[in-house]
Structure 1
Amino acid sequence: MAKEKSGKKQGDMAQAGFAALSPFELKDELIKAAGGGAVERAANASMLNAGRGNPNFLATIPRHGFWQLGLFAMRESERSFAFMPEGVGGFPRREGLTERFDLFLRENKGVPGIDFLRGAVSYVRDQLGLSAGDFLYEMCEGILASNYPVPDRMLKLSEQIVGQYLRKEMIGNHPFVGEFDVFAVEGGTAAMTYIFNTMRENHLIKPGDTIALGLPIFTPYIEIPRLNDYQLNVVNLEATVESGWQYSKKELDKLRDPKVKAFFLVNPSNPPSVKIDDESLQYIADIVKERPDLILLTDDVYGTFADDFVSLFALAPKNTILVYSYSKYFGATGWRLGVIATHRDNVLDKLIAELPKDAKKQLHERYESITTEPDKLKFIDRLVADSRTVALNHTAGLSTPQQVQMVLFSLFSLMDTPDAYKNALKRLIRKRKQALYEEVGISFEDDDPNQVDYYTILDIEFLGERMFGREFVEWLLKNTEPSELLFRLAREARVVLLPGRGFGTQHPSGRVSLANLNESDYRQIGRAMRKLIEEYVERYNAATGKKLDKSKVK
Structure 2
Amino acid sequence: MAKRDKPGSEEAAKLAALSPFELKDELIKAAGGGAVERAANLSMLNAGRGNPNFVATIPRHGFWQLGLFAMREAERSFAYMPEGVGGFPKRDGLIDRFDLFLRGNKGVPGIDFLASAVSYVRDQLGLSAGDFLYEMCEGILASNYPVPDRMLKLSEVIVGQYLRREMIGDHPFIGEFDIFAVEGGTAAMTYIFNTMRENHLIKPGDTIALGMPIFTPYIEIPRLNDYQLTVVDVNADVEKNWQYSKNELDKLRDPAVKAFFLVNPSNPPSVRISDESLEYIAEIVKQRPDLILLTDDVYGTFADGFVSLFALAPKNTILVYSYSKYFGATGWRLGTIATHRDNVLDKLIADLPKDAKKQLHHRYESITTEPDKLKFIDRLVADSRTVALNHTAGLSTPQQVQMVLFSLFSLMDTPDAYKNALKRLIRSRKRALYEGIGISFDDDDSNQVDYYTILDMEFLGERAYGRDFVEWLLKNTEPSELLFRLAREARVVLLPGRGFGTPHPSGRVSLANLNESDYRKIGRAIRALLADYVERYNVSTGNSLDKDRVL
- What range describes the TM-score normalised by the shorter chain of this pair? over 0.9
Structure 2: distance between partners of 1:552 and 1:485: 19
Q: Which residue of 1 aligns with 2:55?
A: 58
Between the aligned partners of 1:287 and 1:11, the Cα distance in structure 2 is 46
Report the counterpart of residue 308 of structure 2 in structure 1.
311
Counterpart residue number, 1:97: 94
Q: Structure 1 stretches of 5 or more lacking a match?
A: none
CA shift, 1:548, in A, is 1.1
Aligned equivalent of 1:77: 74
Letter in 2 for 1:112: P
Tell me which of 123, 134, 148 is aligned to 1:126: 123
> How far apart, in 2, do the equivalents of 1:256 and 1:10 lie?
42
Quote the residue 2:113 is aligned against: 116
1:552 to partner: Cα distance: 2.5
Look up the equivalent residue of 2:145 and give its one-letter code. Answer: Y
Please tell me whether residue 47 in structure 1 is matched to residue 44 in structure 2. Answer: yes
1:438 and 1:84 map into 2 onto residues whose CA distance is 65
Find the residue that maps to 1:79 and give its secondary structure.
Answer: helix
Q: Residue 143 of structure 1 aligns to a residue in which SS?
A: helix
Task: Supply the AA of the counterpart residue of 1:433.
Answer: K
Q: Is the 8 A contact 1:240 1:505 kept in 2?
A: no
Query: Distance in 1 between the 2:108 and 2:8 partners?
Result: 57
State the match for 2:280 in structure 1. 283
Residue number in structure 2 paired with 1:213: 210
Q: Unaligned 5+ residue runs, structure 2?
A: none
Residue type of the alignment partner of 2:50? G
The match for 1:504 is 501
User: 1:435-474 residue pairs with structure 2 within 5 A?
Assistant: 435-474=432-471
**8 A contact 2:271–2:449 mirrored in 1:** yes
SS of corresponding position for 1:363: helix
1:92 is paired with a residue of what secondary structure?
Answer: coil
The one-letter amino acid paired with 1:72 is: F
Distance of 1:418 and 1:210 partners within structure 2: 44
Give the Cα separation in 1 of the matches to 2:279 and 2:335.
Answer: 26
The separation in 2 between residues aligned to 1:44 and 1:434, in whole angstroms, is 23
CA contact (8 A) 1:468 1:553 kept: no
Tell me what 1:138 maps to: 135
What is the correspondence of 1:261-300 to structure 2 with a 5 Å cutoff?
261-300=258-297
Match 1:34 to one of 20, 31, 36: 31
Partner of residue 317, structure 2: 320
What does residue 381 of structure 2 align with? Answer: 384
**Aligned-pair Cα RMSD in Å:** 1.1
CA deviation profile, 1:527-551 (whole Å, cap 9, x unmatched): 0000000000110110011111212
- Label 1:292 to 1:9 Cα distance change in 2 as closer, same or farther (>3 A): closer
Matches within 5 A, 1:473-552: 473-552=470-549
Within 2, Cα distance between the matches of 1:465 and 1:370?
Answer: 60
Give the aligned partner of residue 228 of structure 1: 225
Letter in 2 for 1:450: N
The answer to whether the 8 Å contact 1:319/1:347 transfers is yes
Secondary structure class of the residue paired with 1:239:
strand
1:15-26 aligned within 5 A? 15-26=12-23
Mark the CA change 1:121 to 1:112 in structure 2 (over 3 Å): closer, same or farther: same
Query: For residues 9 and 32 of structure 1, what CA distance do their matches in structure 2 show?
Result: 16
What SS class does the counterpart of residue 307 from structure 2 fall into?
coil
Give, in whole Å, the separation in 1 of the partners of 2:548 and 2:458: 19
* Residue 332 (structure 1) aligned with residue 329 (structure 2): yes
Displacement of 1:170? 0.1
Amino acid at match of 2:40: A
Equivalence for 1:408: 405
Could you tell me whether the CA contact under 8 Å between 2:7 and 2:481 is conserved in 1? no
Deviations 1:35-90 (A, max 9, x none): 00010101110000000100000100000000000000000000011111100000
Q: Does 1:375 align with 2:372?
A: yes
The residue number in structure 2 matching 1:14 is: 11
Correspondence for 2:247: 250
Find the partner of 2:298 among 292, 301, 306.
301
Partner of 1:364: 361
Does structure 1 conserve the Cα–Cα contact (< 8 Å) formed by 2:191 and 2:380? Answer: yes
Alpha-carbon spacing, 1:157–1:526, altered in 2? closer, same or farther (3 Å): same
Distance 1:85 1:388 in 2: 38
**Partners in 2 of 1:91 and 1:10 — Cα distance?**
62
Distance 1:10 1:244, change over 3 A: closer
Question: Corresponding residue for 2:190?
Answer: 193
Letter in 2 for 1:20: A
Q: Which secondary structure state, in structure 2, belongs to the residue aligned with residue 427 of structure 1?
A: helix
User: SS at the partner of 1:30?
Assistant: helix
Partners of 1:38 and 1:539 lie apart in 2 by: 32
Give 1:553 shift: 2.7
Look up the match of 1:342: 339
Output the CA distance in 2 between the equivalents of 1:8 and 1:69: 56
CA contact (8 A) 2:6 2:478 kept: no
**Structure-2 change in CA distance of 1:265 and 1:165 (3 Å):** same
Aligned letter for 1:352?
Answer: I
The separation in 2 between residues aligned to 1:199 and 1:552, in whole angstroms, is: 51
Distance in 2 (CA, whole Å) between partners of 1:235 and 1:17 is: 25
Q: Could you list the per-position Cα deviations for residues 185-222 of structure 1 after superposition, in whole angstroms to 9, with x for gaps in the alignment?
A: 00000000000000000000000100000000000000
1:394-439 deviation line (CA, Å, top 9, x unaligned): 0000000000000000000000000000000000000000000101
Match of 1:419 in 2: 416
- Cα separation, partners in 2 of 1:12 and 1:529, compared to 1, 3 Å: farther
**Distance of 1:110 and 1:467 partners within structure 2:** 56
How far is 1:482 from its partner?
1.4
Give the C-alpha shift of residue 452 in structure 1: 0.2
Percent same amino acid at aligned positions?
87
Shift of residue 477, structure 1, vs aligned partner = 1.0
Following superposition, the deviation at residue 9 of structure 1 comes to 7.1
Looking at structure 1, the residues matched to 136 and 419 of structure 2 have their Cα atoms a distance apart, in angstroms, of 25
Residue in 2 that maps onto 1:174 = 171
- Distance of 1:235 and 1:456 partners within structure 2: 25
Deviations 1:373-400 (A, max 9, x none): 0000000000000000000000000000
Is 542-551 or 300-309 further displaced after alignment? 542-551
CA distance in 2, matches of 1:241, 1:9: 28
| Cα drift, residue 11 of structure 1 | 6.0
Structure 1 residue 8, shift from structure 2 partner: 4.9
Q: Mean Cα displacement is larger for which, 175-184 or 460-469?
A: 460-469
1: distance between equivalents of 2:78 and 2:534?
A: 76
Looking at structure 2, the residues matched to 15 and 78 of structure 1 have their Cα atoms a distance apart, in angstroms, of: 61
Letter in 2 for 1:282: E
- After TM superposition, give the deviation of residue 16 of structure 1 in Å: 3.9
Residue identity matched to 2:546: D
Q: How has the CA–CA distance of structure 1 residues 518 and 9 changed in structure 2, closer, same or farther, with 3 Å as cutoff?
A: closer
Structure 1 residue 158 and structure 2 residue 155: aligned?
A: yes
The offset of 1:176, in angstroms, is 0.2
